[in-house]
Chains A and B, each alone.
Chain A
Amino acid sequence: MIVIATAGDPTADALNGYAHTFVSTLDKPCTIWLDGAGATAAAIDLALGAHPGQPAFLFGHGAPSPSTGFRATCGNLVLDNLGITRLLPNRVVVGSFCDGQQVGAQASQVGFSMFGYRGGLVVPLWPQHAKMMEAAALAGPRHVAQGGSVRSAASVAARAYAHLAYRLNMSRSYDDFMAALVISINDPTYW
Chain B
Amino acid sequence: MEAWLALMPEDVRTQPFVGLAAGGETLSPEDMISEVRNGTELGDRFLDAAIGLMAAKDLQQRAIRFPQGSDTGRFSRASDSGRVLQPTPRPKKDGLLE
Given contacts A174-B7, A178-B29, A181-B46, contact A12 B24 (CB under 8 A): yes
- Chain B residues lying within 8 Å of A191, measured Cβ to Cβ, are none
Among residues of A, the one whose C-beta sits closest to the C-beta of B6 is: A174
Interface centre among B3, B22, B45, B53 (most CB of A within 10 A): B22
Whether A123 contacts B19 by the Cβ 8 Å rule is: yes
Size bracket, chain B contacts: 20 to 34
Alpha-carbon distance between A28 and B98 when the two chains are bound, in angstroms: 72
* A85 contacts partner chain B, Cβ-Cβ < 8 Å: no
Q: Digit string of B21-36 for contact with A (CB within 8 Å is 1, else 0)?
A: 1111110010010000
Alpha-carbon distance between A98 and B27 when the two chains are bound, in angstroms: 15
Among residues of B, the one whose C-beta sits closest to the C-beta of A102 is: B22
Looking at the complex, which one of B17, B24, B45, B48 makes contact with A178 (CB distance below 8 Å)? B17
Q: Digit string of A171-184 for contact with B (CB within 8 Å is 1, else 0)?
A: 00011011011101
B11 to chain A, nearest CB (A): 14
Pick out which of these stretches binds chain B: A35-43, A48-56, A114-122: A114-122
Q: Which of A32-83 contact B (CB under 8 A)?
A: 60-64, 71
Q: Which of B52-75 contact A (CB under 8 A)?
A: 52-53, 56-57, 60
B8 to chain A, nearest CB (A): 8
- Chain A residues lying within 8 Å of B49, measured Cβ to Cβ, are 165, 181, 184-185
Q: Which of B78-97 contact A (CB under 8 A)?
A: none
Among residues of B, the one whose C-beta sits closest to the C-beta of A99 is: B22
A129 to chain B, nearest CB (A): 9
- Chain B residues lying within 8 Å of A11, measured Cβ to Cβ, are 19-21, 24-26
Whether A174 contacts B53 by the Cβ 8 Å rule is: no
Alpha-carbon distance between A111 and B23 when the two chains are bound, in angstroms: 27
Alpha-carbon distance between A98 and B22 when the two chains are bound, in angstroms: 5
Among residues of B, the one whose C-beta sits closest to the C-beta of A166 is: B56
Q: 8 more A-B contacts (CB under 8 A) besides A125-B18, A177-B4, A181-B50?
A: A15-B21, A60-B21, A97-B22, A117-B21, A121-B21, A165-B49, A170-B57, A185-B48
Can you name 21 A-B residue pairings with CB atoms under 8 Å? A10-B19, A10-B26, A11-B25, A12-B24, A61-B21, A61-B24, A63-B23, A71-B23, A97-B21, A98-B22, A122-B21, A123-B20, A125-B17, A165-B53, A174-B7, A178-B17, A178-B32, A181-B49, A182-B18, A182-B46, A184-B49
